[in-house]
Structure 1
């Protein structure tokens, strides 16, 4: 059986090579994403394995079906960039990796929170200019004396709750489908969480129902000087409203690892040197904003699990017609 891999990153290659040494399936690996211009490479393959934040379009699924390919596995959790209706219509079955390392993302959220609470970004400009006194003037806050609101209490959210509570923070949690509640948090409704939290930490999926969950009204309801951290999905936050509340001084800061307008141009910036996004540039100029390039997941443990678990799903699809992490498309 032949498998084509799209969106391969340099740090994944060693794990693909190690996997290939112990499996009979043949891997052909490409760094490019799966889109209308690259889907033709999949002709003659049995299954497709991908990692990307750019869209999987209806045209891509239709072409895969025309090639006789019926299985796609992705090396991440999120499904918001897949046209699932088109996949179902084309007869393409999909599996994701729902838990490659919840701790990796939760730890990154805590890292962002500490950076913002201690106002480290605000010290950098004065220190670089040689103004020691001004750089040392920014009064920080302690996580252990803060209330942290975790929005979404699944695997990642629960890992975040455990970490925040370990620092001594008072942790509130909101989840419309809490499952087995994490006892270290007090579960409340979203309006109460927003109104009472010094830090709001997002861990919900980017499904249509959550689009702009944090909009102008939500931001307005947050405490003055509160901090927003988003390591989940870019479409959860209305960036226009976020800039408004940061620039007005209402919010104390924001940590953004998943940006709302994460376009192919942004992802190709390193290769092309061309990217223009006024909102990204406006955020980048604010010293109380920490922007990172969608790397909250990025640890050795997580990357290895993403490769191995997604390929295990694909081999299972190809050999038995089933995969433990198949996404049920309604």
Structure 2
């Protein structure tokens, strides 16, 4: 079996090679490409049984069709989010699409809480001050988290992990999710979005990006938030209308903002642009606010998460090769149309 890995970094290769070496029963030939999968690079997938892509690879109908035409049978996402892949096109051409539904949700939750702590106690500013010999406390005043209300939007595994941590701080935790989780009943109460927004001192986003959640934070929903609220997004950039958020920061209605994701991140994140002029004026405006933290989509980035991502991705490929199906499949018809297209192996 041959797997072409796109948008790969040295750390991807390290963990994929380790996961592959541990598989004595299967033979997966892995080829790594540092660039993303697109119209100019899709030809490199020819001859591969599957391609592996990351969160910002955009696989529209034309790319999916080209993959199918060149004999690719599966698209393996080494992430949970799948909004970058046209699932209808994949089903039409009989391609399996599988993701890694859960990889150390605690890693993302812990990072979200780290951002909350950093913004609240201004440790990023204190660090820079002390390096310059400035030990003044003016401008570093924070608030005690104990007793504050934290609103969690999305109570999947990451949202639940975040809720557990914030409850441990002594916070009141409330949540909004159209599909409630019984596990949240021990942590807090569900509310409607209209109830959650004005009640929360901190709002943390943990929902997938889809038509119903795109720009869930917008001019209208921001206006319903409590003045001075802290907003944290470690999920998907498209959940936030960034221009609306900038206006809310300028009007002082939004108290602080932490972003590990950004709606225009695909052309910037995961690469070094320090020697270039970045022409994204909205992102650059965000970096001018003292009460804003922007990170480069690193919440998942722990040893445990990278190990699970590599292992689960290869498991997905092995399972499909052995049975024509995959429990993490996102496409309904791939198992029917191409059930026998990969060589069946005893894995």
Class of the TM-score when normalised by the shorter of the 2 chains? over 0.9
Instruction: Tell me if the contact between 2:3 and 2:50 (Cα under 8 Å) persists in the aligned partners.
Output: yes
Q: What is residue 170 of structure 1 aligned with on the other side? A: 172
TM-score using structure 2 length:
0.90
Q: What is residue 300 of structure 1 aligned with on the other side? A: 303
Instruction: Tell me if the contact between 1:94 and 1:326 (Cα under 8 Å) persists in the aligned partners.
Output: yes
Mind listing any 5+ residue stretches in structure 1 that lack a counterpart? none
Instruction: Tell me if the contact between 1:77 and 1:96 (Cα under 8 Å) persists in the aligned partners.
Output: yes
Greater helix share, structure number: 1
Deviation at 1:198, TM superposition (A): 0.4
Deviation at 1:5, TM superposition (A): 1.4
Deviation at 1:100, TM superposition (A): 0.8
Deviation at 1:9, TM superposition (A): 1.7
* In the alignment, structure 1 residue 58 sits paired with structure 2 residue 61: yes
Q: What is residue 223 of structure 2 aligned with on the other side? A: 220
User: Which segment drifts farther, 284-293 or 171-180?
Assistant: 171-180
- Give the whole-Å Cα distance in 2 for the aligned partners of 1:116 and 1:217: 24
Deviation at 1:305, TM superposition (A): 0.5
Mind listing any 5+ residue stretches in structure 2 that lack a counterpart? 334-347
Instruction: Tell me if the contact between 1:46 and 1:318 (Cα under 8 Å) persists in the aligned partners.
Output: no
Q: What is residue 185 of structure 1 aligned with on the other side? A: 188
TM-score using structure 1 length:
0.94
Secondary structure in 1 matching 2:110: helix
- Give the whole-Å Cα distance in 2 for the aligned partners of 1:33 and 1:52: 10
Instruction: Tell me if the contact between 2:19 and 2:307 (Cα under 8 Å) persists in the aligned partners.
Output: no
Q: What is residue 280 of structure 1 aligned with on the other side? A: 283
- Give the whole-Å Cα distance in 2 for the aligned partners of 1:67 and 1:60: 11
Q: What is residue 147 of structure 2 aligned with on the other side? A: 145
- Give the whole-Å Cα distance in 2 for the aligned partners of 1:46 and 1:303: 23
Deviation at 1:269, TM superposition (A): 4.5
Deviation at 1:30, TM superposition (A): 1.6
Q: What is residue 206 of structure 2 aligned with on the other side? A: 203
Deviation at 1:328, TM superposition (A): 3.6
Deviation at 1:54, TM superposition (A): 3.3
> How many pairs were matched up?
329
Alignment map for 1:1-330 (pairs within 5 Å): 1-21=1-21, 22=23, 23-123=26-126, 131-133=134-136, 135-182=137-184, 183-270=186-273, 273-328=276-331
Deviation at 1:224, TM superposition (A): 1.2
Deviation at 1:38, TM superposition (A): 1.3
- Give the whole-Å Cα distance in 2 for the aligned partners of 1:250 and 1:127: 30
- Give the whole-Å Cα distance in 2 for the aligned partners of 1:271 and 1:89: 42
Provide the aligned C-alpha RMSD in A: 1.9
- Give the whole-Å Cα distance in 2 for the aligned partners of 1:286 and 1:329: 45
